[in-house]
Structure 1
């Protein structure tokens, strides 16, 4: 369903349109006398006596074709809370027969900054669907006309639009099936983002072999598709200050390789590239909103298949860092992709920090379910910034432990390290401990295990099920609050 928003200077017709109006938490409608007709005011006032005022949104049928929707704004409501109200409102209005609405922005006065913007942001985020491959698509349009003086500057609307575009792009990428979005196609799509001002470099297998990125290449060697490392640079500052770096795991489909996964739910492994999708969506967002920051996104794109040339359990490979890895399980492949990508990012760009994102372990879902991403970090300041940003946009993270005592679980008798902990337990922590070994110059680093957050079968506050785009808004908020 498409959302069309119009900004109107003229006064709206009080008696001929569906109206969305804002009131206080007690549903005191005395402030609405100027916004609705006297007959509608009397009708709504009378019906309110019989309604459950604990609800946040109440709908009144004025006629068979017209409704008035009252949205309750409590005191000290956060921006995230307003966005959730917008999402709740969308769930109500999408079922109406008449899909044109008018919002009187002046009914949201004396509240926190840009209530209308955040409310519409919630509506739009919730409205996303992926119907590309359906023969019958929902072609309905919701039209929302905004009236009144309480409307923020155009730059604020541009920022909301950029975040939505970045989030939707990430969701689109995750939603694509593996036969469409394989590494070859994915690299082409990223390359198309040059038109937004991003500097894109694509390293194919020949270049990766020359660089010595053997842990990344090893994962993809069983596939007929290529393997790639793609860098995206956004230079929003005139100076040459060190960039912020974001690294994503892009396993376009993960069969587990020779260590084959069970057939049940393997179809969900199309979203094993969600970490990379977040990075790509974030970089698109930064470019669209002309963010005043230098940033780089790096993604490793591979397909993990059990082909005749596939990597075997027991193989030993030398990483870009020079460290060797014994492959005990080919289904622990994401950390191998990230290992080379992280070291390359650190050496090439010398960033202020590195944040990597990956659907890395099922163990993090056991630990945190679908409420928090797992945060592992070598830096307290960066961790706090991520936690605070996550709370503000409700893309929450929970810090998990790293400790040298875990190293013995990934030390190998035959190489510098092994890619899994064969003893058992601490699956997410040992994976993060593995990644930490590829930070060579003490760069502040955080690893976000988003396995429980990237895809939702039942939907969340701001998504209707499927790919969530989790991480784009989180990282945008981190940048916005701390680095611009």
Structure 2
């Protein structure tokens, strides 16, 4: 499905088609009189007497060639509510055969700043569908004509489009099957981001061995595919100020390795690279909207397979940091990928902060379900900023505890640490505690466990099910509000 949006500052004059008007919560249509004949005005009032006015959107046929949509606006409308209203409107359009809609923007109160921009942003985000492998695709086009004085500025149009493209790119990556988006293909796709203005550097296995990134390489050694670390740099400032760093787990398919997962729902493990997809989508968005910030994205790309050469439970590996790890469970692999990536990012780029994202633990789903991502951090300021940004775009995070007392649960008798807590309990916290050991220079750091947020079987306010792209808008909002 393709959405084509046209903006025009002109009088709203239509005698037919799908016509959209905005009204207040009481569905007062008195200010719409000039757009209809006296007979039509009477008919509209009679129709409204029969409607449930608690609904956000009411639609009805005014004639055989004219369909009316009335959308009610709350007095305390904000950006999130505006986006959700746009998403609701998209659901209404799916049942309409004629896919052209004319929106009257003149009735939007002035205090609803940039309402149309957020409304259409929600509409577009909700419209996403992954149909690449269907023989019958939805090739229909939806035309949205916005007429009147309240239209988004050109800069806002570009900003919203950039965020949408980054979010859709993340969703596309997560939606790809494992036989298509393996690490080799993933690395190739990331190299194409150079055309967007990003500096992309790909470290293959040969380079990673020289760097001694053994925890990352150990995860992928059972696969016929390569393992990679990819860095994407965006320089939006003329100075050499420290960049903001984002690190993502990119396990393209996770069988669990020798510690094999149960067969049921293993097909969902194609989305175990969602953390990396968020980082990639964010970096694409920053480049497309020419964000005034220096930023770097780092992703570790591997495939966790059971093979004669696969990593075994009981193996001990030496990380890039020099610290050793005893592998007690090969299905606790994401933290091994992130361990090397985190230390390398901190040492190479010396960032202002590091935020990593990963579908890291099932335990976080037990704790928070699909409503919040788990936030673990060594920095109160960064945590507060993430919580605030999440509330603004409705990609929420909930801070979880870190404490040195948890360290004894991952201390190993045979190495510096072990990769799981065999005692039981605090699965998400001990995973984050493990990651924190690879932040060596006290850089402000936050870990987002997005296992419950990256994929939705039932859909959400701004997605229709499947890959959500959760995190792209959250991190973009953080940057936009606090660092540009």
TM-score interval (norm. to shorter): over 0.9
Aligned residues: 484
Structure 2: gaps spanning 5 or more residues? none
Aligned to 1:397: 397
Shift of 1:482: 0.2
Cα distance in 1 for partners of 2:430, 2:19 equals 54
Aligned to 1:33: 33
C-alpha contact 2:10 2:149 (8 A) present in aligned 1: no
Shift of 1:33: 2.0
**SS of 2:317 mapped into structure 1:** strand
CA RMSD of aligned residues (A): 0.9
Aligned to 1:152: 152
| Cα 1:321/1:103, change in 2 over 3 Å | same
Shift of 1:412: 0.2
**SS of 2:34 mapped into structure 1:** coil
**SS of 2:185 mapped into structure 1:** helix
Cα distance in 2 for partners of 1:117, 1:36 equals 27
Aligned to 2:92: 92
**SS of 1:108 mapped into structure 2:** coil
C-alpha contact 1:15 1:37 (8 A) present in aligned 2: no
Indicate yes or no: 2:46 matched with 1:58.
no
Shift of 1:307: 1.1
Cα distance in 2 for partners of 1:249, 1:317 equals 19
Cα distance in 1 for partners of 2:36, 2:327 equals 69
Higher mean displacement: 146-155 or 430-439: 146-155
C-alpha contact 1:279 1:299 (8 A) present in aligned 2: yes
**SS of 1:202 mapped into structure 2:** strand
Cα distance in 2 for partners of 1:438, 1:112 equals 46
Aligned to 1:256: 256
Higher mean displacement: 63-72 or 469-478: 63-72
Aligned to 1:192: 192
| Cα 1:117/1:36, change in 2 over 3 Å | farther
C-alpha contact 2:420 2:430 (8 A) present in aligned 1: yes
Aligned to 2:14: 14
Aligned to 1:339: 339
Shift of 1:8: 2.4
C-alpha contact 2:13 2:35 (8 A) present in aligned 1: no
| Cα 1:215/1:160, change in 2 over 3 Å | same
Shift of 1:405: 0.5
Aligned to 2:231: 231
Higher mean displacement: 94-103 or 371-380: 94-103
Cα distance in 2 for partners of 1:322, 1:32 equals 71
**SS of 1:33 mapped into structure 2:** helix
Aligned to 1:103: 103
Cα distance in 1 for partners of 2:466, 2:150 equals 35
Aligned to 1:72: 72
Shift of 1:37: 4.0
Shift of 1:315: 0.2
TM norm structure 2: 0.99
Shift of 1:3: 1.2
Aligned to 2:117: 117
Indicate yes or no: 2:190 matched with 1:163.
no
Cα distance in 2 for partners of 1:34, 1:172 equals 45
Cα distance in 2 for partners of 1:111, 1:67 equals 28
Shift of 1:25: 1.2
Aligned to 1:330: 330
**SS of 2:106 mapped into structure 1:** helix
**SS of 1:442 mapped into structure 2:** coil
Aligned to 1:222: 222
C-alpha contact 1:35 1:104 (8 A) present in aligned 2: no
Higher mean displacement: 6-15 or 139-148: 6-15
C-alpha contact 1:105 1:149 (8 A) present in aligned 2: yes
Shift of 1:78: 1.1
Shift of 1:357: 0.1
C-alpha contact 1:378 1:445 (8 A) present in aligned 2: yes
Cα distance in 2 for partners of 1:208, 1:279 equals 20
Shift of 1:13: 3.0
* Cα offsets for 1:148-191 (capped at 9, x unmatched): 01112100000000000000000000000000000000000010
